[in-house]
Amino acid sequence: MAVQERVETVLKKIRIRNFRKLNGLKIDRMDQVNLFTGRNNSGKTTLLEALFLLVGAGNAGMTLSINAFRGIDSVGGTPAAIREAFWKPMFSELEMSEVIQVEAEETLLGQLTLSIMLEQPGVIELPIGKPAGTAAEFLKESPLLFSFDSKQTGHVECRMRVQGTGIQIEHPAASVPLQAVFLSSRLGNLQEDAMRLGQLRKRKQATIIVDALKIVEPRLQSVEDNSASGTPLIWGDVGLPELIPLPVMGEGMTRVARLILALSAAQGGLVLVDEIENGLHHTILAKVWQAINAAAKNFNTQVIATTHSFECMEAAYQSLGKDGFCLHRLEAENGKSRCVTYEPDQIEAVIRHRLEVR
């Protein structure tokens, strides 16, 4: 399939302050394909979450999504308990008096800025005769304010409140400036995968996913999305009398399919992948990187991925070359975050000397 002419859509520079582990993080160079390494708890997943929130154009509801990515898919308890469990951990050092800020410079859209803060009312009205402590209780019920700015959307505000009846979220007035798909290291949605394949087939582009899946299963002839099992699934033809559900063929098949389908769904936007090597044997990683790179170019999608694997980084270098991707390392020290972005010749040295990336 012919590769489309690339229109440059890339987040180039990133600044993050007071979001979880990331405080004072600066990333000054990004490319179409980016791979982030670093020790556990250095902020790799948090970086992906921050960017996911940023391109949501101030949609406060996306905080529920990033909790789900970490396996927290239900919210319960008193309003005070919900704020403590779900709001406070978003702020560095659990300090909700500070402002979270995520900024990025995008090649076509220019500056994108998201601020998250606990909104303090200018005036508090207390009924006469109420105890003095009522003022403090009133402040605890302040909403979480999401403010987003870009030249495309202008200034957008969205508020999230925790009330006795549940969480109330305002609907943001702006559409998202960039499409984004987050692929968690933990969770996946087989029905969503099948829907994305349906869209790809509708555009007569299914060849790209078949070619990618042949890396894992060379016998594969075609893939189909259907509901023969009662729920939408992807099925594969490997030359047997009947089709086989893709998940039955193994985790590697599902992971490769999900990666390519995410790139097609986020055309012109971002795919954020946590622990990209999950489910993939090290012997096929180089070919998988080739498939990811080809799909990223075809769909004009930026890839921002994390890894704990030296083999994954080495495979990216073997497939894409030292100039074909950006390699970054996140570090955390004394409450501050730092990103080391390797120059192409430094990537070569890292591989040659097998430097520690975890």
- Residues 259 and 168: their CA atoms lie apart, in Å, by 33
The DSSP letter of residue 326 is E
CA angle 178, 113, 146 (to 5 degrees): 95
Residues 192 and 170 in one domain: no
The DSSP letter of residue 18 is S
**13 inside domain:** no
- Residues 83 and 64: their CA atoms lie apart, in Å, by 12
3-class secondary-structure state, position 336: strand
Adjacency order of strands within the sheet including 166-169 = 25-27, 11-17, 100-106, 110-118, 144-150, 154-163, 166-169
Residues 91 and 193 in one domain: no
Q: How many C-beta atoms lie closer than 10 Å to residue 235's C-beta?
A: 21
Q: What local confidence, expressed as pLDDT, does residue 133 receive?
A: 52
Residues 121 and 142 in one domain: yes
Residues 195 and 170 in one domain: no
Non-local (6+) Cβ contacts of 40 within 8 A are 308, 358
**127 inside domain:** yes
Give the closest residue to 111 by CA, choosing from 97, 120, 101. Answer: 101
**31 inside domain:** no
**43 inside domain:** no
- Residues 12 and 32: their CA atoms lie apart, in Å, by 9
**72 inside domain:** yes
- Residues 102 and 156: their CA atoms lie apart, in Å, by 15
Q: Which domain holds residue 289?
A: 188-269+280-352
Give the closest residue to 185 by CA, choosing from 252, 107, 273. Answer: 273
**120 inside domain:** yes
What is the distance, to the nearest Å, from the Cα of residue 317 to the centroid of all Cα atoms in its chain?
22
Residues 152 and 292 in one domain: no
Residues 109 and 243 in one domain: no
Number of independent structural domains in the chain: 2
Q: Averaged in consecutive runs of 10 residues, what is the pLDDT profile of the chain (358 residues)? A: 54 95 94 93 94 91 85 73 85 92 93 92 59 51 90 90 80 80 87 94 94 96 86 93 93 95 95 95 95 95 95 95 94 86 90 69
Is residue 259 packed enough to be buried (19+ CB in 10 Å), middle (13-18) or exposed (0-12)?
buried
Give the closest residue to 35 by CA, choosing from 23, 48, 25, 26. Answer: 48
Q: What local confidence, expressed as pLDDT, does residue 4 receive?
A: 45
Residues 151 and 261 in one domain: no
Q: What local confidence, expressed as pLDDT, does residue 81 receive?
A: 80
Q: How many C-beta atoms lie closer than 10 Å to residue 26's C-beta?
A: 14
Residues 237 and 212 in one domain: yes
DSSP states along 102-171: EEEEETTTEEEEEEEEEPPPS-----TT--TTHHHHHHHTPPEEEEEEETTTEEEEEEEEEETTEEEEPP
- Residues 227 and 234: their CA atoms lie apart, in Å, by 9
Q: Measure Cα distances from 174 to 50, 56, 177 in Å.
A: 19, 9, 9
Residues 173 and 247 in one domain: no
**112 inside domain:** yes
Residues 220 and 171 in one domain: no
Give the closest residue to 79 by CA, choosing from 161, 157, 172, 6. Answer: 161
Q: Which of 142, 177, 212 lies at the terminal end of a domain, its last residue? A: 177
Q: What local confidence, expressed as pLDDT, does residue 284 receive?
A: 95
- Residues 258 and 280: their CA atoms lie apart, in Å, by 12
* Residue-wise pLDDT tens digits, 85-114: 888 999 998 999 899 999 999 988 899 999
Residues 145 and 240 in one domain: no
CATH of the domain at 210: 3.40.50.300
Residues 221 and 323 in one domain: yes
* Residue-wise pLDDT tens digits, 1-54: 444 444 566 899 999 999 999 999 999 999 999 999 998 888 999 999 999 999
Q: Measure Cα distances from 17 to 26, 120, 146, 286 in Å.
A: 9, 20, 15, 35
**15 inside domain:** no
Q: What local confidence, expressed as pLDDT, does residue 121 receive?
A: 63
